[in-house]
A and B are shown apart, each in its own frame.
Chain A
Amino acid sequence: MVGELNSSQILTIIEGIGKSKEKLLLILLAIQNASGKNSVEEEWAKIVASELNLPLSKVYDVLTFYAMFSTEPRGKYVIEICKSTPCYINKSDAIAKIFEEQLGIKVGETTKDQQFTLLYTACVGACDIGPVAKIGEDVYGDLTQTKIIDIIRKYQGALSCQK
């Protein structure tokens, strides 16, 4: 398990990418990816703001503007089901339902063990294999109930290996 990020780790990430205002998105994405809970906490945002010499409000503006960021903790794996029309007309709502049943949560929620968050997303550019779900960088297409069960098992397996 990835532990809580501490301020020296945040500083290392910032140093690694470069202390420039233009790198703000990249820095915040890197922090979010390293957080283990797919989010950027206020404390971390404060460090970024002071290192880049930006007002915190500016960092908050960016964090809340872009859909990929979250200021609330999310699951280790964020499952994003595309609901744009090319996927929707290929029954992405039924796919969402299967994920909901399998994970025991509704879209927008996180499992009790903090492992999975289920969300809708806009088009991820994989309309040729819709309906799709994106988990981290991986996109899974032509989803069916069997495929979804396999996918969830795969991620659960990855989790139990880490424990």
Chain B
Amino acid sequence: MSKIVRLISKNCNNITPESVEEYVHAGGFEGLKKAFTQDPTEIIAEIKTAKLLGRGGAAYPAGAKWEHLLHIPEFPKYIVCNADEGEPGTFKDKLLLSQDPLGVIEGMIIAGYVFNSNDGYIYIRGEYAAIQRSFQKAIDHAIESGYLGNNILGTKFDFHIHIVTGAGAYVCGENSALLNSIEGKAGRPRIKPPHLAEVGLFSMPTLVNNVESFANIPLIVQMGGEKYLSYGTKDSGGTKLVCLSGHVAKRGVYEIPFGVTLRDIIYDPQIGGGIANNKKLKFFHLGGQSGPCGIPEQLDTPYCYKALRSVGLSVGSGAVVVVDESVCIIDYLKGVTEFFIHESCGKCTPCREGNWQMYKILRKFQEGVAVQEDFHVMKRLTDTMTNASFCGLGQSAAVALTSCLKYFRDEFEAHIQKQCPADHCFIGRERGE
């Protein structure tokens, strides 16, 4: 099995991104043309067969999501693409948005056709302002060539895509918060149920999928669910864009078929190429700040939803932050917690206060004033945050900490004794606060 593939990334750095002509030449819009000859239920059946799980991080089965929305009788329905890529360590949607915008657009048009929807919105984070402009160019070119707008390819089907900008709020990656933001409001999450398929954008039935999920749709339609599934494992269909960062030799975005091991991803010369500067791997942080950390002993786990879950890890957004032995686990987790303090929207108490209390406890460890009792307090806090937070942000904010407490308990204990195995704390070094 090849360890890297070029399926959804095949156009990236190979064609002029906004050129419809080059996109079509490379096989673009074939999925859309085929979709127009199919019944919506057939298309959804293929997506189900493909076992496409949501690529934004939540891994919700796309086929089930689409099927649910198809059975909702209200109209208009809206198609929304979540391009609010803010999960630290994640930069794969940026690749697709900037290098293959037409692939994302094609996926959205197919969704529009399936749900008989005439309007799609793509919510692109404010930090990607230049990409918003190049994406608009791709939209304009698609309209000029008859693939988007009114009467697409003479089918009498109309579909329009509107770009909406974010303005710097990680929580807007949460689908209901994102819809609030599109409506021009502060991006605080909504209470569910009702499900967004019932009460979504402008209170109408709405489909929200991630950029990478949409980019997969034309391929699935074109090659069929069975073929797509065969690229991955029997439970995780297809491929995944993984983002390597941190202390790995070759940082970047790589498309891998599900089933290669974590060792392949980090060490294979075609992919990560090992740890930078001949240091030793200490741990890796998967799926973003809201994901768990894993240790070298887990390197032979296949990278797929099921196998990772069985050892307490997860695919999440596809982020793989590689961390070498020079990093102190407490210091690292403090960074993670600071991020959640900054990004918590403040709506619910477990998340708003929980992260802050967690930060204070981590500081106690770093200053050598933590006591055994702090382990119990942390456990209570993480349980409360995980179970009682309003949305996924708070529910997953303690995931990294929980995994590290499991694997690096010794390092926490050492800090109680005023010792830092990574030689980072207790030496009076100044760090950025």
Question: Footprint of B on A, CB under 8 Å?
Answer: 20-26, 28-29, 58, 61-62, 65-69, 83-86, 88-90, 92-93, 96-97, 107, 120-130, 134, 137
- 3 tightest A-B contacts by CB? A93-B432, A67-B168, A127-B245
Contact between chains at A125 and B128 (CB < 8 Å) = yes
Measured CB to CB, the closest approach of chain A to B219, in angstroms, equals: 24
| Residues of A contacting B251 in the complex (Cβ-Cβ under 8 angstroms) | 127-130
Contact between chains at B170 and A122 (CB < 8 Å) = yes
Contact between chains at A86 and B89 (CB < 8 Å) = yes
Which residue of A22, A93, A97 contacts B183 across the interface (Cβ within 8 Å)? A22
Measured CB to CB, the closest approach of chain B to A60, in angstroms, equals: 10
| Residues of B contacting A124 in the complex (Cβ-Cβ under 8 angstroms) | 127
| Residues of A contacting B245 in the complex (Cβ-Cβ under 8 angstroms) | 86, 127-128, 130
Contact between chains at A128 and B253 (CB < 8 Å) = yes
Contact between chains at B327 and A86 (CB < 8 Å) = no
Which residue of A25, A120, A128 contacts B167 across the interface (Cβ within 8 Å)? A25
Q: Which residues of chain B (6-63) have a CB below 8 Å from chain A?
A: none
> Which of A24, A88, A92, A130 gathers most chain B CB within 10 Å?
A88
Which residue of B128, B187, B289, B335 contacts A66 across the interface (Cβ within 8 Å)? B187
Contact between chains at A122 and B343 (CB < 8 Å) = yes
Inter-chain residue pair count (beta carbon < 8 A): 143
Contact between chains at B247 and A89 (CB < 8 Å) = yes
> Which of B85, B168, B321 gathers most chain A CB within 10 Å?
B168
Nearest A residue to B167, CB-CB? A66
Q: How large is the interface on B (under 10, 10 to 19, 20 to 34, 35 or more residues)?
A: 35 or more
Q: Which residues of chain B (385-432) have a CB below 8 Å from chain A?
A: 430-432
Which residue of B243, B332, B342 contacts A127 across the interface (Cβ within 8 Å)? B243
How long is the Cα–Cα vector from A129 to B251 in the complex, in angstroms? 8
23 sampled A-B residue pairs with Cβ under 8 A = A20-B184, A21-B184, A23-B184, A24-B185, A25-B167, A26-B165, A29-B126, A29-B167, A67-B168, A83-B432, A84-B339, A85-B88, A85-B335, A85-B336, A86-B245, A88-B332, A89-B321, A89-B332, A122-B88, A123-B86, A128-B245, A128-B252, A129-B251
Contact between chains at B167 and A69 (CB < 8 Å) = yes
In the complex, besides A58-B185, A107-B432, 13 extra interface pairs with C-beta distance below 8 angstroms are: A22-B182, A22-B184, A25-B166, A62-B185, A66-B126, A84-B89, A85-B285, A88-B332, A89-B327, A92-B432, A93-B431, A122-B168, A137-B129
Nearest B residue to A129, CB-CB? B251
Which residue of A61, A68, A120 contacts B186 across the interface (Cβ within 8 Å)? A61
The answer to whether the Cβ of B338 comes within 8 Å of any Cβ in the partner chain is yes
The answer to whether the Cβ of B130 comes within 8 Å of any Cβ in the partner chain is yes
Q: Which residues of chain B (334-354) have a CB below 8 Å from chain A?
A: 335-336, 338-339, 342-343, 345
| Residues of A contacting B166 in the complex (Cβ-Cβ under 8 angstroms) | 25, 66
Q: Which residues of chain B (109-136) have a CB below 8 Å from chain A?
A: 125-130
How long is the Cα–Cα vector from A134 to B127 in the complex, in angstroms? 9
Nearest B residue to A141, CB-CB? B251
| Residues of B contacting A24 in the complex (Cβ-Cβ under 8 angstroms) | 184-185
How long is the Cα–Cα vector from A93 to B185 in the complex, in angstroms? 34
Contact between chains at A97 and B88 (CB < 8 Å) = no
Contact between chains at A62 and B184 (CB < 8 Å) = yes
The answer to whether the Cβ of B87 comes within 8 Å of any Cβ in the partner chain is yes
| Residues of B contacting A21 in the complex (Cβ-Cβ under 8 angstroms) | 183-184
> Which of A21, A89, A124 gathers most chain B CB within 10 Å?
A89
Measured CB to CB, the closest approach of chain A to B17, in angstroms, equals: 17
| Residues of B contacting A126 in the complex (Cβ-Cβ under 8 angstroms) | 91
Residue-wise, chain B 310-329 has the 8 Å CB interface mask toward A (1 for contact) of: 00000000010101000100
The answer to whether the Cβ of B244 comes within 8 Å of any Cβ in the partner chain is yes
| Residues of A contacting B128 in the complex (Cβ-Cβ under 8 angstroms) | 125
How long is the Cα–Cα vector from A121 to B170 in the complex, in angstroms? 11
Q: A85-B339, A128-B253, A129-B251 are in contact. Are A68 and B88 (CB under 8 A)?
A: no
> Which of A90, A97, A122 gathers most chain B CB within 10 Å?
A122
How long is the Cα–Cα vector from A74 to B270 in the complex, in angstroms? 44
How long is the Cα–Cα vector from A129 to B327 in the complex, in angstroms? 19
How long is the Cα–Cα vector from A57 to B415 in the complex, in angstroms? 46
Contact between chains at A137 and B88 (CB < 8 Å) = no
Measured CB to CB, the closest approach of chain A to B179, in angstroms, equals: 11
Contact between chains at B432 and A123 (CB < 8 Å) = no
Contact between chains at B335 and A84 (CB < 8 Å) = yes
Nearest B residue to A66, CB-CB? B167
Contact between chains at B246 and A86 (CB < 8 Å) = yes
Contact between chains at A128 and B243 (CB < 8 Å) = yes
| Residues of B contacting A85 in the complex (Cβ-Cβ under 8 angstroms) | 88-89, 246, 285, 289, 321, 332, 335-336, 339
Contact between chains at B165 and A29 (CB < 8 Å) = yes
How long is the Cα–Cα vector from A130 to B165 in the complex, in angstroms? 24
Contact between chains at A65 and B169 (CB < 8 Å) = yes
| Residues of B contacting A29 in the complex (Cβ-Cβ under 8 angstroms) | 126, 165, 167
Contact between chains at A67 and B169 (CB < 8 Å) = yes
| Residues of A contacting B252 in the complex (Cβ-Cβ under 8 angstroms) | 128
| Residues of B contacting A22 in the complex (Cβ-Cβ under 8 angstroms) | 164, 182-184
| Residues of A contacting B343 in the complex (Cβ-Cβ under 8 angstroms) | 122
The answer to whether the Cβ of B240 comes within 8 Å of any Cβ in the partner chain is no
Measured CB to CB, the closest approach of chain A to B99, in angstroms, equals: 14
Measured CB to CB, the closest approach of chain A to B105, in angstroms, equals: 20
The answer to whether the Cβ of B366 comes within 8 Å of any Cβ in the partner chain is no
